[in-house]
């Protein structure tokens, strides 16, 4: 998909999705999930976090 496709499908937050995909692609195929968290306050904006490390 192009950047324009991501923006069309996911809005301006499509750029953030690209960053998450690049980050994951830079890691090994096997990773350990250290921590994950998602918070959706009363507003419509959610916030997510994931901490991964390359598996040994």
With 90 as the cut, is the pLDDT of residue 50 above it? yes
Q: What is the mean pLDDT of the chain?
A: 87
**Which tokens belong to 56?**
């040994």
Asked whether the CA dihedral 3, 20, 16, 43 is positive or negative, the reply is positive
Cβ atoms of 55 and 28 within 8 Å: the answer is yes
Model pTM score: 0.65
* Model pLDDT, residue 25: 95
Which DSSP symbol is given to 26? T
Radius of gyration, alpha carbons of the chain: 14
Domain boundaries defined on the chain? 3-54
More confident site: 18 or 22: 22
pLDDT digits over 31-46, tens only? 999 999 999 887 777 8
**Which tokens belong to 13?**
């937050």
* Model pLDDT, residue 43: 76
């Amino acid at each position: 998909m192009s950047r324009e496709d991501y923006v069309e499908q996911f809005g301006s937050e499509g750029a953030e999705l690209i960053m998450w995909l690049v980050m994951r692609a830079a890691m090994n195929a096997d990773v350990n999930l250290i921590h994950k968290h998602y918070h959706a306050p009363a507003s419509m904006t959610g916030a997510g976090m994931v901490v991964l490390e390359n598996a040994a």
